[in-house]
Structure 1
Amino acid sequence: YVGFHAEPTIEGTSVATTRAVVNASLLVLMFNFVLSAFLFR
């Protein structure tokens, strides 16, 4: 999603990549927390 809305420059690509990695990492951490809370109840 972030890559489709990036500016077509080197800076835009690097910002989009950083945002995508941060968003994916946070999503994995949140999903891991929810899944762990559900399974180890």
Structure 2
Amino acid sequence: MGPSINKGSCHVALLWILELVVQETVTFLEKLPNLANPD
């Protein structure tokens, strides 16, 4: 019973980290043109 709960929470943690990385990457890519072409 324990391992399945740990496996589930680990899976959720990985999904959460992946989503966080994707959000950070999108934010970075959105800022990139502004850094390249400062008005």
Count of residue correspondences: 34
Q: Which structure: greater helix fraction?
A: 2
SS in 2 for 1:38: helix
- Find the counterpart in structure 2 of residue 29 from structure 1: 22
Please, which runs of 5 or more residues in structure 2 have no aligned partner? 35-39
What TM-score, normalized to structure 2? 0.74
Cα RMSD of the aligned pairs, angstroms, is: 1.5
Q: In the TM superposition, what are the counterparts of 1:1-41 in structure 2 within 5 Å? A: 9-41=2-34
The percent of aligned pairs where both chains have the same amino acid is 12
> Which of the two has higher C-alpha Rg?
2
Please, which runs of 5 or more residues in structure 1 have no aligned partner? 1-7
